[in-house]
Chain A
Amino acid sequence: MITKLSHVTLFVTDQEKAHNFYVNTLGFKVHTDAVMEHGFRWLTVIPPEQPDLQITLLSPLTGFMYKDEEVRNAFRVLLEKGALGAGVLHTPDCKATYEELKAKGVHFNSGPKEQFYGIEAVITDGCGNWFSMTQPK
């Protein structure tokens, strides 16, 4: 029986930039930051109110994760185009969070809109991913 999801991978163009965005801008916390001897960095963050889900911020473009050129190019294209819809982030108030993050310089693909499931804006992490930022009904 599978009971829960403990780790989920988010591929990012730049781990340090992603660290800054998720930790300093969004307020996530670093769970583990381990560097192996050949430079592979295992960096996981957790959302403020979800300590048992680690989001692994992995760079497929550098290091040894994917040496296959074709795979790396495929990732590069997807990340550079910001094409990867990574998930849904919950907020207690979409409009307030939108205003606050806009003031911090975060780019949104679209502002808060009423949807049948709540109020939603589309936020980007600047590292290749976008999320639905939703205030559920």
Chain B
Amino acid sequence: MHIAPAVYKRIIAGKLYVDQHFQEPIDLGIISQKACISRFHFHRLFTRVYNKTPHQYLTGKRIAFARKLLEDGNLSISEICNSVGFESMGSFSMLFKKETGISPRAYRNNTLLKKELVKRSPYSFIPNCFINTCLASQ
């Protein structure tokens, strides 16, 4: 399906709007309005371009940011839920688990454990041949 360059720019504008505003309560109506395309056409074209529906993309952005915040370890899980744009802990936990296979709490625990291990024994994360190259050249 051919998409005219001007239409591409609108689809990208919609995607960039999601990238910048995913923490806010946005939906297809708002995003397609920003792209100056009707909801139906925006949904169809966005899905064609990115192989994901706008809603799947928005959810993916929120989950990715939630992962980052969980890795940082500064906010509580309910604070993270609110700051990435989810309305309830229930839907956040369910979608997070669907995306990553584990709950937000388990993800945080695993990440903190790995960080600690990386800090304590970095050698165990590096293939030995690279360590040997590195040490041999000293």
Instruction: Answer whether A and B are interacting partners.
Output: yes
B49 near A42 with CB under 8 A, answer no
B123 near A92 with CB under 8 A, answer no
A-B Cβ contacts below 8 A, count? 58
A92 near B134 with CB under 8 A, answer no
> Which of the residues A34, A66, A100 comes within 8 Å of B122, measured between beta carbons?
A34
Interface range for B: 20 to 34
Q: Which residue of B lies closest to A63 (CB)?
A: B134
> Which of the residues B16, B51, B126, B138 comes within 8 Å of A42, measured between beta carbons?
B126
- List CB contacts (< 8 Å) of A34-82 with chain B: 34-36, 38, 40, 42, 56, 63-68
Question: Quick check: is A107 within 8 A (CB to CB) of the other chain?
Answer: no
Main secondary structure of the interface of B (DSSP, over half): helix
B137 near A65 with CB under 8 A, answer yes
B137 near A32 with CB under 8 A, answer no
What's the nearest-Cβ distance from chain A to residue B8, in Å?
A: 6
Number of interface residues of A (CB under 8 A): 24
Main secondary structure of the interface of A (DSSP, over half): mixed
A92 near B15 with CB under 8 A, answer no
Question: Quick check: is A16 within 8 A (CB to CB) of the other chain?
Answer: no
Chain B positions within 8 Å of A, measured between CB atoms, are 3, 5, 8-9, 11-12, 15-16, 48-51, 64, 118, 122-123, 125-127, 130-131, 133-135, 137-138
> What are 23 contact pairs spanning A and B, CB under 8 A?
A32-B118, A34-B118, A34-B122, A34-B126, A36-B126, A38-B138, A42-B122, A63-B134, A64-B138, A65-B133, A65-B134, A65-B137, A66-B137, A68-B137, A92-B49, A92-B51, A93-B48, A93-B49, A93-B50, A95-B3, A96-B11, A99-B9, A100-B15
